[in-house]
Chain A
Amino acid sequence: MRALSFPNQDVLAGKPLRERGEGGPAVKHRSIALSTVVLILSLLVSSPGGAQDRMRLTGSGASFPFPIYSAWFKAFSTKHKSITVDYQAKGSGAGIQDFVNRTVDFAASDAAMSDTDMAKVPGGVQLLPMTAGEIVLGYNISGNAKGLKLPRDVYVGIFLGKITKWSDPKLKAANPGLTLPDSDITVVRRADASGTTFVFTQHLSAISEEWKKGPGTGTTVNWPKSDKFVASPKNDGVTATIKQTPGSIGYIEFAFAKFSKIEMALLQNKSGAYVAAGGHGGAEALSSVKLPDDLRAWITDPEGAKSYPIATYTWMLFYKDNKDPKKAAGLRELVEYCLTEGQKMSEAMGYIPLPATVVTAVRKASSSIQ
């Protein structure tokens, strides 16, 4: 405090400041304190939802349906002036974790939600399948062979690391019209834990006993150890690696292969027919499985001659008890929008539109979001 009683004392350092006026230090202190308060206040004011009075719905989870979800939510937010929807594609597992911790208003998951996780949410969980997608085997063979046909035992063999050459007799037998090179097969897989891997390995487990006993089903599995198995992060990483690697094959979501123009193999389905992805095969696969009451169904190996073999629903998770009627109404509105307008966008974006029966069932179930 002595400093305050001698405000005009002369020193070398800091002189200009002192010359501003009497009581220099005190004024300085006050102005610093003031500006700090202003800063903190402005931070406090600006954080919750900006100046406008919009309701904000936040969600997080699966990255597999992210392209279509972001399109839906953007269109929905533009249409409904009073609601903004934010969605973060963190991955299904992270989404479920956020949902259980109640840090989001809804979540999305490719692997639905397990009973043990659902038990952790007081008031209950409503799972709603919102869209569906196909997983394709994209490949890159020198000479750009189009329309490669892969029998069931062959693609299991490739991912088990048992079939290692493109010139393998089994491949040649299935593709008499193609000239296949005598090069190694490089398998590209997902490096990160992912719902896409879960769905793909679930299908492989369903069609191959050896796969089921070996790597099994999971968001990550213990892949065969080989120099010819490489991994890349996310769908984009796998897509880029396939494009850059002659002689490679990998599993990706249909939309990624479609938009980056990667060749997709025709896969043999349960009835023995070869089906290409992207046609009506996906819808056929969906209609081959009847949804149970909890709307959790896996299409591990669909019946039907026209069905594409690797298809899956992807779910949004909602709280049955939102503790806020306005928010619940907003969420129901969002679901309704996705079921009507949203489904019209599906096909163009590389997803499978939900069959009419499923739409009806989902609409009915959405009334339990309160």
Chain B
Amino acid sequence: MATRATTPVSRAGQLEHPAQAGSVSGPPSAWDYFADRAFRGVAQGGVWVVLLLLVFILWEIGGKAWPGIREYGLGSLTSTTWDTNLNLYGFLPEIWGTLYSSFLALLIGGFFGVVMAIFLTQDFLPPRLAQVFRTIVELLAAIPSVVYGLWGLFVVVPAIRPVADWLSGHLGWIPFFSTTLSGPGLAPAALVLAIMVLPTVAAVSQDALRLVPYRVKEAAYGMGTTRWEAILRVMLPAASTGIFGALVLGFGRALGETMALAMLIGNSNQMTLSLFSPANTLAALLALNFPEAGPRQVQVLMYAALVLLAITLVVNVIGGIIMALASKDPTRK
């Protein structure tokens, strides 16, 4: 009760001396309690809605996939034949293609993304210029997938053709170069995919590097390290958890990428190590076969969707575990 009595006084004081506003305080009102609880309730509700939505999606896909799973079981996961006339549906090549193309993309995109993050955060550029670069890299994320696909088809494929021809001609004994590039294939798909995951990797890695306290770097310089030693031995390890998170996010993005890959990967049901062979991915299989799918095919496609979900989940869980292990390491040492 006493506090309420003081309220008008403090209010008047505040009006006269705005500079002292910080010192004015009172207990939270009933309305504040209500607003606080309401906000918490809404936030909590939002979380539950998202979780329920995920369960609902899984339930729906699983329910529709169930007849297909019962009919084909593990056979679909190990067979390489997709023949609608014979009702044979195997998507092992798609699983392989999804993982292989995403891995290649991450290898390239991850490398350049991290390098770019170092370049933009470690005082190589004046801050304003760095901001311009950052914006440009982030703009890459705003380009629609179809545009990437077209660009890949009309620019990347002709550009890498001479290189691919030389590699397959001279180094054909290496399994990665064992076939000639005929147009769409793993190499152009992985290159374009690498550019698509680049903004994700670069942006998250930059945040990770910027979060390392500046004094850590200063301490490294104080120890007499060169700039590169400071970056490679101190900054990168200190930001490694965040950078690893960036790579996992990038891999997740690559796994689910659909349209650009559907246009570039060649959509051929084969498993191959060769970078110049056509391959296929789960996402492309789903996107391209749904519109004309019969009832049986829909079940199998739902099954494939479930497998894609499972792969994404497994990748994220493994990433989480490795991240947890990696973040423990420095404290143990």
Contact = CB atoms under 8 A, between A and B. Distances in A.
A232 B154 CA distance: 13
Interface string A203-235: 000000000000111111111011111111100
A231 B267 contact: yes
B85 A241 contact: no
Nearest to A7: B31
Contacts of A222: 81-86, 88
B182 A232 contact: no
Interface stretch (A88-96, A121-129, A277-285): A88-96
Q: Majority SS of interface residues in chain A? A: loop
A229 B278 contact: yes
Interface in B252-278: 262-263, 266-270, 272, 274, 276-278
A241 B292 contact: no
A225 B32 contact: no
A19 to B, nearest CB: 11
A290 B219 CA distance: 89
Given A93-B292, A191-B284, A219-B292, A230 B7 contact: no
A79 interface: no
Nearest to A140: B183
9 contacts: A2-B31, A9-B4, A11-B29, A11-B31, A90-B291, A91-B291, A188-B183, A191-B262, A230-B184
For the complex of A and B, list the 6 residue pairs with the smallest distance between their C-beta atoms, beginning with the closest: A193-B292, A93-B292, A3-B31, A91-B291, A222-B83, A245-B183
B25 interface: yes
Contact of A230 (B4, B31, B183): B183
A227 B180 contact: yes
A233 B263 contact: yes
A12 interface: yes
Given A225-B268, A230-B278, A186 B183 contact: yes
B26 interface: yes
Contact of B24 (A12, A229, A237): A12
A93 B263 contact: no
Given A2-B30, A93-B294, A228-B182, 10 more contacts: A6-B31, A10-B7, A10-B11, A10-B26, A12-B26, A193-B84, A218-B85, A221-B84, A241-B153, A244-B154
Size range of the chain B interface in the assembly: 35 or more
B291 to A, nearest CB: 4
Nearest to B154: A244
Interface of B: 4, 7-8, 10-11, 24-26, 28-32, 34-35, 81-86, 88, 150, 153-154, 157-158, 179-180, 182-185, 262-263, 266-270, 272, 274, 276-278, 284, 287-289, 291-294
Given A218-B85, A244-B153, A244-B158, A229 B268 contact: yes
B291 A220 contact: no
Interface of A: 2-3, 6, 9-14, 25, 90-94, 184, 186, 188, 191-195, 215-223, 225-233, 237, 240-241, 244-245, 247-248
Contacts of A223: 268
Given A191-B267, A193-B292, A227 B274 contact: yes
Given A9-B31, A93-B293, A230-B184, A191 B288 contact: yes
